[in-house]
Amino acid sequence: MRIHRTFEASITNPGQVSDDLDQLGRAASKLWNVGRYYAHEQWDDTGEIPDDGELKSDLKGHERYTDLHSQSSQRVLEELAEAFNGWFRKRRSGESRARPPGYRKRGDSHPRSTVSFKAAGFKHDAQFTRVRLSKGRNLKEHRSDFVLCEYGLRPDVDLSEWDIQQVRAVHKYGEWRLQFVCRTTIDPEPPGEETAGIDLGISNVAALSFGGESILFPGNALKEDEYYFGRKKAKCDDSRSHERLRLDRKRTERRTHFLHTLSKHIVVECVERDVGTIVIGDLGDIRDDENGDSRNWGTHGNLDLHGWAFDRFTSILDYKAEAEGIDVTVESERDTSKTCSACGTKDGDQRVERGLYVCEECDTVANADVNGAENIRRKVTPSPSQDRSNGWLAQPSVHLFDCSEGRFAPREQVVDCKP
Ligand SMILES: [Zn+2]
């Protein structure tokens, strides 16, 4: 989420920069007057006041234009055009006494107008809290090329955390001050304080536990793609043929789409349930977990089965969740498949049959992947109640990837996944 702030700073080396800033501020007033006069002439000739685009293009060859950095001069003429527009608005709304913008002149001298410096016109040095302001070509000759202002800000403001869009030199209270017009992106508020656990696997690519409710995401689409593209590629004779490369690219596109769709779907489900934290199992531990094969990992360490790019999925999920204010943390998966999420009994010999986890101690029957996801969730949020019904552990809802629509559908359905 993008936010804007303007911070005002005092100048801590006024003795070194005030004369230069005076010169720039007066030059801005002179340019304003040039534009004001030109607008008046145009009004007399054509009956129309030029807009800011015309002012800029018609006056950029003027001598006063090159007193300031070109972006600073542009800003002066934009302000003049805005002042005319404000006057038109007042006239239209019936303010008969509204006056057009005037000239900036006091007797023979000029007031110090605000000078704006856009991206190309300033260079900020956060470390030494100073900013270099560019002059126009005309004023460079008899002095230095730029004005180096040292500044002091409120101690709670750190400009290095902000993207500075513009610096303004403003003369007020009898002294020059600097305004930093800033922008930044902030973290959105998390949807709530609930925690969700995710267990990644092969047969189910993800099991999602909210503690009291669970969702399974079967890997049907990935498996079918793998089979389909494997067969197609086998039919290509030349290993570098055009067709083979096309198939590889196509498969990669489909995998990428699957990973984005899955992570987006999970984030949406989490937002609906006020989740502020997603805990995901660290797959690095699987390699060391001798009994961690209960979820059909195949060969230990072979984590790229079915093109299932776990690390990539985690990073995609992370940035999609971050955009919703949800934190993603990675926790060790150690023992999560061997522990009963209902009573906490850890037993290497518990029965896992047809994807079910059966606890010898408390007789809980759970979907093995949901049991893992719930154990991962508990690493961050220990469950407060032991007496809650555990029926949900065995009855996850199943969200299948619908290849024809390219999204996850929240109920079982038969889909033809041929690409
Ligand atoms: Zn148990």
**Cα 218 to ligand 1 centre (Å):** 25
What pLDDT score does 1 carry?
A: 65
Cα–Cα distance, 203 to 183 (Å, whole number): 46
Q: Give the mean model confidence (pLDDT) for residues 383-400.
A: 78
Q: Distance between alpha carbon 300 and the CA centroid of its chain, in Å?
A: 36
**Cα 297 to ligand 1 centre (Å):** 23
Cα dist. 221→86, 147, 305, 396, 409 in Å? 60, 63, 13, 19, 12
Residue 386's pLDDT band (boundaries 50, 70, 90)? low
| Residue 298 scores a pLDDT above 70 | no
Alpha helix segments (H runs only) across 141-272: 220-234, 242-272
User: Is-contact 171 114, C-beta < 8 A?
Assistant: yes
Torsional class of 298: left (φ above 0), alpha (ψ -120 to 50), beta (otherwise): left
Share of the chain above pLDDT 70, in %: 87
Residue that has been written with the tokens 């937002």 in this structure: 271
Q: 171-182: per-residue pLDDT in tens?
A: 988 899 999 999
Q: 247-287: per-residue pLDDT in tens?
A: 888 888 888 888 889 999 999 999 999 999 999 987 654 44
**Cα 5 to ligand 1 centre (Å):** 55
Per-range mean pLDDT, top range of 36-40, 44-48, 171-175, 328-332: 36-40
| Residue 329 scores a pLDDT above 80 | yes
Q: 134-172: per-residue pLDDT in tens?
A: 998 887 765 578 999 999 998 878 898 899 999 999 998
Cα dist. 416→397, 406, 419 in Å? 21, 12, 9
- Half-sphere exposure of residue 18: CA atoms within 13 angstroms, side-chain side: 11
| Residue 185 scores a pLDDT above 50 | yes
**Cα 398 to ligand 1 centre (Å):** 24
The pTM for the full model equals 0.54
User: Is-contact 132 122, C-beta < 8 A?
Assistant: yes
**Cα 287 to ligand 1 centre (Å):** 26
Mean pLDDT (the chain) is 85
Instruction: Between 23 and 143, name the one with better pLDDT.
Output: 23
Cα–Cα distance, 305 to 298 (Å, whole number): 8
User: What is the DSSP code string of 369-393?
Assistant: HHHHHHHHHHTTS--S-SSS--GGG
What pLDDT score does 217 carry?
A: 93
Least-confidence region, from 58-62, 218-222, 239-243? 239-243
Cα–Cα distance, 17 to 8 (Å, whole number): 17
Here the tokens at position 143 are 């002095």
**Cα 382 to ligand 1 centre (Å):** 15
**Cα 349 to ligand 1 centre (Å):** 13
- Half-sphere exposure of residue 377: CA atoms within 13 angstroms, side-chain side: 29
Which residue, 175, 176, 179, is CA-closest to 157? 179
Cα dist. 157→2, 89, 214 in Å? 17, 37, 44
